[in-house]
Amino acid sequence: MILFQSICSQQFEFQNKRNYLKNNDSKSFVFLSKNYLYKINHKAKLIDSIYFELENNFDNFQLLKNKNYYLINTLGGQVYTSFNRKFNRIDNSFSHKSQILSSLFIYNSILYRFGGYGYFDSRNFITFFSEETMEWEVLKTNSKVFPPGLYNNKFFIHMDALYVFGGYTLDNNNREKPINNKEFWKFSFKNQNWTKIGSSPLFSDTQQNSFDFYDNGKFYFENNGLLNIIDVNKNNISQFEKIKILDKTDFRSPAFKLNDTIYFIGDTPNSENTKSLIYNIPIKNLVPNTVVNIQKSNTNLLPIIFLILCLIFLFKMKNIFKRELKIKNNKMSYGFKNIRLLEIEMKFFYKLINQSKVSNNELLEFINSNIDISQKTRIKNETINSLNIKLEIISSGNYIINKVSSDQDKRYFFYTLTENN
C-alpha cells in the first residue's frame, strides 16, 4: 500500500475565488486573491505578495505571465497587464464571447489563443494579440489540413509547437450538441502547419483544468480523477492507478513537478471553512495501470497520390506486365520483347491467336491459289516452323504451335497455339 503525506498542514486563509497562474515555470503557486498577488512555494511558505489596486471583477479572467502579469478575458477580447501595482487595460477589443473556453497561452512573448466556442460554432484557428493594433488577429498559416473546431480542450507547448487534444467539437446537424474529441493535433510555429498526430480513446471526455502541466517532454493531466502522462517523444499515454490523495485535489488549482515529485493544492473541508493544503506525489510511487500508444495518423497526401499514379501506370502497362502474346504493326510481342513477322506469318498468327483451333484448310487458304497443293503444304509447314522459332525467341518456349489430329477423323488435323506450363 502506497502512503502519501501532505507537505504541510498550514492552511491558506484566502477567499475561494482565485485567479491561478497556469503554465507556471517558477515551481511555485502564484494566484491573485482579492487585491493581492501571492507566490507560495511547495512547502507552503509565502515567498512574495504584491498589492494591486483592482478596479474590476476578474472572475472570468485567466492569469498569465511573461515579463509582466496578464489578465485575459476567457470569454474573448479584453487584456489587462500589470504596471505600477495596477492592472491596466491595453486592448482595443471587447468581450465578444466568441472564443469561450479557448486555449490561452504565451509563446515567444506573444499572447495566443486557440479554438473556443461562441454563437453555435467552435473555432479551429489560432489568434494572437497584436501589439501594433492592440487587438486579437487571426494567425495566418501554410497548412493544408486543420483540426476540428475545438473548445475546452487540453493543450501544451513542447519546443516550437502547440499540442491540442480532447475537449469538444460540435455536431454539424445539431449545433447545440457537443461531441467528444479523441484526436491529437500539433501546430508547428516554425512551419506554420497543422499535423494530425493520431487519436486515442483516453482523450475522450477530457477537459481543461488548472491541474494539468508540462515538464521536460511530458504532459501531466487529470481525467476522471486519474493521472495521465503523455510522453511526446514516445508518442504514448501512461494512465496510473487510482490515487486516493487526488480525491482531495482542487483541479481548478495548478500543479507542478519539482525534484521528481508532483505538488498540488488540495481542499480539506471542515465544519466551519475550507482549508487549502499542499500535497505531494513522488513520481517513483506512481504505478502505471496501462500504457497506450497513440494511434498514428498520416495526413500527408503525397504517398497516397504517388500510389494512385503508380496504379494508373501499372493499369496502362498491364498487358506488358501480364506478358500476353499480342500482334500489332506487323510484329509479334510478348512482354518487353517483339519480333517482326512476314505477311503470311501475320495472317497465320492472327488466326491462331484468335481461334482455339485452326484447321489445315483454313491456313492453306492464305496461300496463293495458283500453286498446287504440295507447294501450298510446303509453304504452310515452313511458315509454322518459322513462327515456332520466333515464339521460342520472344517467349523463351512458353508458347508453341502444335499439330493436333481430329477426334472424329484422324485423317484431319488442326493447329493450336498452346501455352506451356
Q: What tens digit of pLDDT does each residue of 160-184 get?
A: 999 999 999 999 899 889 999 999 9
Residues 331 and 382 both lie in one domain: yes
Residues 151 and 119 both lie in one domain: yes
pLDDT at 193 over 90: yes
Residues 121 and 220 both lie in one domain: yes
Q: Where does a domain end: 300, 334, 356?
A: 300
Phi and psi based region of residue 263 (left: phi greater than 0; alpha: psi -120 to 50; beta: remaining): beta
pLDDT at 6 over 60: no
Answer yes or no: is 46 within a domain.
Answer: yes
Residues 252 and 330 both lie in one domain: no
Answer yes or no: is 362 within a domain.
Answer: yes
| CATH number of residue 263's parent domain | 2.120.10.80
- Which range of 35-39, 109-113, 301-305 scores highest in mean pLDDT? It is 109-113
C-alpha 165/C-alpha 232 separation (Å) is 13
Q: What is the mean pLDDT of the chain?
A: 84
- The stretch 370-388 carries a mean pLDDT of 87
Residues 291 and 341 both lie in one domain: no
pLDDT value of position 8: 38
Answer yes or no: is 96 within a domain.
Answer: yes
**What does the CA dihedral 348, 352, 357, 359 come to, rounded to 10 degrees?**
0
Do 418 and 399 form a contact (C-beta atoms < 8 A)? yes
Answer yes or no: is 190 within a domain.
Answer: yes
Residues 282 and 328 both lie in one domain: no
Residues 329 and 293 both lie in one domain: no
Residues 163 and 205 both lie in one domain: yes
C-alpha 172/C-alpha 128 separation (Å) is 27
| CATH number of residue 338's parent domain | 3.90.1150.220
Residues 384 and 250 both lie in one domain: no
Number of domains within the chain: 2
Digit-coded pLDDT (tens) for 98-135: 899 999 999 999 999 999 999 889 999 999 999 999 99
C-alpha 344/C-alpha 326 separation (Å) is 16
pLDDT value of position 11: 45
- Which range of 144-153, 319-328, 404-413 scores highest in mean pLDDT? It is 144-153
pLDDT value of position 394: 84
DSSP-derived pairing of the beta strands 136-138 and 126-129:
antiparallel
Which three cell numbers, joined as nine digits, stand for 237?
A: 499515454
Residues 266 and 329 both lie in one domain: no
Answer yes or no: is 384 within a domain.
Answer: yes
Beta bridge partners of 40: 29, 46
pLDDT value of position 7: 37
Distances (CA, A) of 152 to 191, 207, 217, 412: 25, 5, 22, 88
Q: Where does a domain end: 300, 332, 366?
A: 300
Digit-coded pLDDT (tens) for 308-333: 776 776 666 554 445 688 888 888 88
pLDDT value of position 1: 22
Residue 269 vs residue 242, higher pLDDT? 242
pLDDT at 208 over 70: yes
Digit-coded pLDDT (tens) for 45-60: 888 888 888 777 787 8
Residues 345 and 285 both lie in one domain: no
Could you tell me the pLDDT band of residue 84, with boundaries at 50, 70 and 90? confident
Residues 337 and 296 both lie in one domain: no
Owning domain of residue 201: 19-300
Residue 75 vs residue 245, higher pLDDT? 75
Nearest CA to 210 out of 155, 278, 143, 267 is that of: 155
Could you tell me the pLDDT band of residue 17, with boundaries at 50, 70 and 90? low
Answer yes or no: is 201 within a domain.
Answer: yes
For the ranges 3-12, 74-83, 176-185, the lowest mean pLDDT is seen at 3-12
